[in-house]
Structure 1
Amino acid sequence: MEAPPKCFYKVNWDAAFSKSGGSIGFGIIVREHEGKFMATKRVKREGFSDSLLAESIGALHATLFVVELGMRKIVLEGDSLQALIKSIILKFELWNSAGMIISNVKQHLCTFDSWFVNHIRRTTNGAAHMLAKSSLELVEDKAE
């Protein structure tokens, strides 16, 4: 895993679906430029079955989390190629629910001093995925 530039924070997120359906979990991990964990957040929501919408909402939760933490320079990473590459990086607009969420993510990203968005392989995003899976058991959101 590549470290972010000095003075930047790396923010990884992922989404996981429950096997029984109906709920989705989000995992967010924030690391500083030397790879040290700074914060994590797990979120559970009900009623989603669309993976692109789920990944888009995960990106929004990740962005809002670092806003709450007061971080001004971030590298946002996820393993959803469609949500990230087409919608955020290439500025491809989606005219659906996921597109509206991605539009909101873009608005929040513009408030940072500096930001980058990277697509990473699912195997590289294992820690965020494990948090997302464990969040399916939550009763309420948890930030640490």
Structure 2
Amino acid sequence: MRPIARTLVIALALAGPLAALGVAAAQNLDVIAERQAVMKQNGRSAKAANALIKGETPYDAAAALQILQTLNADTKKFVTLFPEDSKTGGKTEASPAIWEKPAEWKAANDKMIADTQAAIDAKPADVAAFKAAFTTVAANCGGCHKQFRVD
């Protein structure tokens, strides 16, 4: 085999595995892990809110406000965690719709921010007020998951 042909065969043989490494490297696993951590925190916040609403935890207006503030801050951060290189990998449950419908994605996120901010501003003093505010906030979760999450 001539040297040029041998070099070409070796280059082609290495191209497949190297290309696969390139795809893996293009996946932004750090940001995927970060958004998964934010969603786990949202889950903990929702669980704490439900415990307050159900009376499993005595109602504490400061704790209720902290839950809403955490959800608000997490939602502001969450929308920044979907760069182009984070569509796949890391067991992501992000739907392609996030990148295909960026205006709708941003609108859904902005609504959650507005609803959590309204709940914060209302400063729910009792469990009934908190339940009403949190019900509005929680409705965002289900709507967003249906459109922008892959089960």
Q: Relative contact order (alpha carbons < 8 A, sep ≥ 6): 1 or 2 greater?
A: 1
Is TM more than 0.5 here? no
TM-score after normalising by structure 2:
0.25
TM-score after normalising by structure 1:
0.26
Larger helix fraction of residues:
2
Larger strand fraction of residues:
1
Higher Rg of the two aligned structures? 2
